[in-house]
Amino acid sequence: MGIEIVTLAERPDLHSAIWDMPSGWPPFMLEDPVARLMGRLHTLFPELQFAALDADEVVGYVHAASFAWDGDRASLPDRGWDAIMLQAFRDRDHGNEPTAVTLLEATVRPDRRGGGLSNALLVGVRDRCRELGYGALFGPVRPTHKSLEPTTPMAEYIARVRPDGLPEDPWLRVHTRLGAQIVRIAAASMTIGGSLAQWRGWTGLPFDRTGDVIVPGALVPVHASVEHDHAVYVEPNVWMMHEL
Ligand SMILES: CC(C)(COP(=O)(O)OP(=O)(O)OC[C@H]1O[C@@H](n2cnc3c(N)ncnc32)[C@H](O)[C@@H]1OP(=O)(O)O)[C@@H](O)C(=O)NCCC(=O)NCCS
């Protein structure tokens, strides 16, 4: 049997299996203040929390949320992930009619990565969003191999394509092969600030010099200031759009 995509609205019993799966994000990213809202997704948007099942075992998940898109791609926020997450919660609180869905996180269980599962996951999520009547699925996408070259500007990184015309980055490639388009870069998609002591705790790195610090898993360097005793990470993502 193939991969089956179900939602937490249909299978609330899968809540722990999803939340207990290790996220692919480096731990410091969970210190993004907006990311605290992730814990409320299953109550506010249960129909958009997806699990990929293989013989009733959860092998991947997608967190998503709906928002009231005005139909203009140019209105997608520069503050990508943080801004769209806040908008989704605001729209739901105010009863604004949602018209589009944004992906927030996609993860395949570590032992199942590299086996083509992400494709089935995204196709399933797209189908379900279409069935719910949405016209577009967006994502402030985190290119998976960008962390291997944090000093490369995102614009230069995403311009790299293979001879077949598909992006060199594997995760951008999965989306593109499914017909998604790159809209533009969300230059300040997630902003994570903290004291140097906090950054030491989050990363295990010394944070004892002023300047750029390379942190494993970060897509760009973290800016540190010893004088001001703080460091800030501003993650760029790539707005992608799947028309449904
Ligand atoms: C990103 C992720 C969802 C991809 O899922 P996956 O099922 O492992 O991916 P696939 O097996 O479908 O591979 C996707 C593409 O990446 C390529 N790929 C996979 N692992 C790779 C690696 N280590 N090196 C190079 N390419 C790799 C595959 O060849 C494939 O490209 P192709 O279709 O052109 O051959 C998964 O790796 C993951 O959960 N990562 C941690 C969380 C994360 O970063 N999520 C994305 C941002 S929220």
Q: What atom of ligand 1 comes closest to residue 115's alpha carbon? A: 11
Q: Tell me whether strands 136-141 and 100-108 are parallel, antiparallel or unpaired.
A: parallel
Please give the distance, rounded to the nearest whole angstrom, from the Cα atom of residue 121 to the centre of ligand 1. 12
- With a 6 A CB cut-off, is 176 part of the ligand 1 pocket? no
Please give the Cα distance from 231 to 223 (Å, whole number).
Answer: 5
- With a 6 A CB cut-off, is 122 part of the ligand 1 pocket? no
The single-letter code of the amino acid at 221 is P
Q: What atom of ligand 1 comes closest to residue 141's alpha carbon? A: 47
For residue 211, which of 201, 232, 195, 225 has the smallest C-alpha distance?
225
- With a 6 A CB cut-off, is 189 part of the ligand 1 pocket? no
Looking at residue 24, what is its pLDDT? 86
- With a 6 A CB cut-off, is 130 part of the ligand 1 pocket? no
Boundaries of every domain in the chain: 4-189+237-243, 193-231
Looking at residue 241, what is its pLDDT? 98
- With a 6 A CB cut-off, is 115 part of the ligand 1 pocket? yes
What count of other Cβ atoms lies within 10 Å of the Cβ of residue 198? 17
Please give the distance, rounded to the nearest whole angstrom, from the Cα atom of residue 108 to the centre of ligand 1. 8
Cα separations in angstroms, 167 against 37, 45, 111, 175, 244: 31, 31, 25, 10, 21
* Count of CA atoms in the C-beta half-sphere (13 A) of 159: 5
Please give the distance, rounded to the nearest whole angstrom, from the Cα atom of residue 208 to the centre of ligand 1. 34
Q: Tell me whether strands 4-7 and 100-108 are parallel, antiparallel or unpaired.
A: unpaired
Looking at residue 1, what is its pLDDT? 61
Buried b (16+ CB within 10 A) or exposed e, 164-190: eeebebebbbbbbeeebebbebbebbb
Q: Are 212 and 223 in contact (CB under 8 A)?
A: yes
Torsion angle of C-alpha atoms 38, 126, 91, 40, degrees rounded to 10: -20
Residue 33 CA to its chain's centroid (Å)? 15
Q: What atom of ligand 1 comes closest to residue 60's alpha carbon? A: 39
Looking at residue 23, what is its pLDDT? 85
Q: What atom of ligand 1 comes closest to residue 170's alpha carbon? A: 16
Which H or E element spans position 193?
strand 181-195
Please give the distance, rounded to the nearest whole angstrom, from the Cα atom of residue 109 to the centre of ligand 1. 11
CATH topology of domain 4-189+237-243: Aminopeptidase (3.40.630)
pLDDT by residue for the chain (244 residues), tens only, comes to 689 999 999 999 999 999 999 888 999 999 999 999 999 999 999 999 999 999 989 999 999 999 999 999 999 999 999 999 999 999 999 999 999 999 999 999 999 999 999 999 999 999 999 999 999 999 999 999 999 999 999 999 999 999 999 999 999 999 999 999 999 999 999 999 999 999 999 999 999 999 999 999 999 999 999 999 999 999 999 999 999 9
- With a 6 A CB cut-off, is 114 part of the ligand 1 pocket? yes
- With a 6 A CB cut-off, is 104 part of the ligand 1 pocket? no
| Pocket probe mutation, ligand 1, options 171, 178, 189, 219, max atoms within 8 Å of Cβ | 171
Query: Ligand 1, atom 12: nearest CA belongs to which residue?
Result: 116
Residue whose token pair is 């903290």: 194
